Amino acid sequence: MLKISSNLISGIIISLFGFFCFLYGYEYKFGSLSNIGPGFFPKIVSITIICLGFLVAISKTDQKIYSDYRSVFVCSISIVIFALSIKFLGLLPAIFLTSLSSLYAQKQKISFFKKIKIATGITFFVLIIFKIFFQMNTELLYL
């Protein structure tokens, strides 16, 4: 658990996001008020985001918050595992590996055997819904 202060950090991130969008979309044609170009909206919105980010950063309520980086990291990785394995290995390994990997997000100690059991159960449940019921057109296993 890491302590971070909320409003200042979020305000800075929002302003940076707005600044990045402004720079990235700088070359899009602005056009005129009667005939707006593809850059009109991005520029107006990104400048507004920069200003709003500033307002958020200076706003009074500044609570201390806690974040759990382990869960964010493991859950994101498990979705990435799904994305890669469904492309290269097939549906069955994708579901199994995603269920198994996501279980590592929990700090609670679970034996590896139990994790395998949970992942197997979820795999069968999801396959019944999507492969049998919805007849999803994805290969179960690439051999």
Partner 1 sequence: MTIIEGLTLGLQHAIQPMALLFCFVGVMLGTFVGVLPGIGNTATVALLIPMTFEIPGEYAMMMLAGISYGALYGGSIISILLRIPGTTASIMTCIEGNELTKQGRAGVALFVASMTSFIGGMIGVIITIVAGPFLSNIGITLGPTDFASIMFFGLVACCFITTDQPVKNFSMVFVGLMIGMVGTDINSGYDRYFFGSDTLRDGLHILIVALGTFAIAEVISCINIEQKVLTKNFGQWLPTKQETKNCFWPIIRGSSIGSFIGALPGTGGTIASFIAYMVERKFSKNKDKFGHGSVEGIAAPESANNAAAHTAFIPTLTLGIPGDAIAVLLLGALMIYGYAPGPMMMQETPELFWGLVISFIIGNIILLIINLPLIRLWVKILQIPYNILFPSIIVLCCMAIWGLHFNHTDLLILAFFGALGYFIKILKFSPAPLVLGIMLEPYIESYI
Residues forming contacts to partner 1 in the complex (CB under 8 A) are: 6, 9-10, 14, 17-18, 21, 24-25, 28-29, 36-38, 41-42, 45-46, 48-49, 52-53, 55-56, 59, 61, 63, 65-68, 70-72, 75-80, 82-84, 86-87, 94-95, 98-100, 102-103, 105-108, 110, 118-119, 121-122, 125-126, 129-130, 134-138
Locate the DSSP E strands across 10-90: 64-67
CB of 113 to partner 1, least distance (A): 14
Q: Which is nearer to partner 1, 66 or 112 (CB)?
A: 66
Q: Which is nearer to partner 1, 66 or 143 (CB)?
A: 66
Q: Which is nearer to partner 1, 2 or 143 (CB)?
A: 2
How many CA atoms lie less than 13 Å away from 88 in the CB half-sphere? 7
Contact residues for 82 (Cβ-Cβ < 8 A; gap 6+):
94, 95, 97, 98
CB of 47 to partner 1, least distance (A): 10
> From CA 61, how far away is CA 65, in angstroms rounded?
12
Neighbouring-strand partners of residue 36: 31
How many CA atoms lie less than 13 Å away from 79 in the CB half-sphere? 5
CB of 143 to partner 1, least distance (A): 19
Q: Which is nearer to partner 1, 55 or 141 (CB)?
A: 55
What CA–CA distances, in Å, run from 29 to 25, 33, 38, 42? Answer: 9, 12, 6, 10
CB of 134 to partner 1, least distance (A): 6
